[in-house]
Structure 1
């Protein structure tokens, strides 16, 4: 691995926010456009860092991608229950794809979850079209938990998110 996974610094928040937003836009993962409210959430790395741990992958001071790790019971939890950590907003810059960055970021989250006292599992949400990410999750031992699938915008069946879970 020729890159490092570490906590994001405030000077990187803007760039990581843009990497995240562009990854979702370019992959067609938003059912919206550049004016969508969720893009603001994706770009708000400072807000995430205030409530959770934002990790980045860097090579020679260049950002390759990032992820948000929400410890058990954290305020950014969407689907995690008691004793579960959550992974959110995984994104890898298009130029860095296929280099193991996404997998390394997920592994770093799992390692952090193992270090959280009382944490028995890790959960995450993903879209149906994120097949490359699904393969990463499955390779790392995550299993589909269809009974936990959910919709962040009720009434929009096209936005149902799939849930994956890993027992630690």
Structure 2
């Protein structure tokens, strides 16, 4: 398995995004959501996915990078009650837009990103996490469940007509 920079994908380094990561994070996000068929190429959501600088400025953008600094994946983290949190309540953390590049899939990148968001929630003294996912995102569901998240169907919602979102939660 090779990273986008051509090197082997080992353990990714997960950290807060730096300016040099933003273009790569935006492209990985668009490629994952559009390429996997979760978002139409003409959807306004594509602009939000691509705007990693905004996500990093208004929330926290965590990136997984390889040894050469290539972005393998990213996730947006926000505490509940802030502008980027859709379903997390105050006292909970939320992840949004988890994306892993095709070349890095199956290598623990998604799991490392979610685990980093859990760590960030704990650092902030939050009591748990809650976030949304699409029903078809089954690979992500496996990561969430392996990390101890459980479905909270009473919190499921629709972001737009015909877009049903499942909610996962955990308590610390």
**Does residue 127 in structure 1 map to residue 134 in structure 2?**
yes
Offset of 1:73 from its aligned partner?
2.7
- Of residues 160, 163, 167, the one that matches 2:167 is 163
The residue that corresponds to 1:68 in the other structure is: 76
Cα shift readout 1:74-125 (whole Å, capped 9, x = no counterpart): 22111111211101110000000000000000000001101113x1110111
The residue that corresponds to 2:29 in the other structure is: 20
The residue that corresponds to 2:111 in the other structure is: 103
Determine the C-alpha separation between the residues in 1 that align with 2:111 and 2:11: 14
Offset of 1:72 from its aligned partner?
3.5
SS state at 1:17 partner: helix
SS state at 1:79 partner: coil
The residue that corresponds to 2:4 in the other structure is: none
Determine the C-alpha separation between the residues in 2 that align with 1:160 and 1:72: 20
Determine the C-alpha separation between the residues in 2 that align with 1:123 and 1:90: 14
Offset of 1:10 from its aligned partner?
1.4
**Does residue 147 in structure 1 map to residue 154 in structure 2?**
yes
SS state at 1:161 partner: strand
The residue that corresponds to 2:14 in the other structure is: 5
Q: Which runs of 5 or more structure 2 residues have no equivalent in the other structure?
A: 1-9
**Does residue 83 in structure 1 map to residue 87 in structure 2?**
no
Write out the 4+ residue segments of structure 1 that deviate beyond 3 Å after TM superposition. Answer: none
Say which is worse superposed, 108-117 or 68-77, in terms of deviation. 68-77
Q: Which runs of 5 or more structure 1 residues have no equivalent in the other structure?
A: none
- Of residues 40, 56, 59, the one that matches 1:52 is 59
Determine the C-alpha separation between the residues in 1 that align with 2:169 and 2:138: 16
Offset of 1:37 from its aligned partner?
0.2
Determine the C-alpha separation between the residues in 2 that align with 1:83 and 1:2: 30
Kindly report the root-mean-square deviation, in angstroms, between the aligned alpha carbons of the 2 structures. Answer: 1.1
Offset of 1:61 from its aligned partner?
1.2
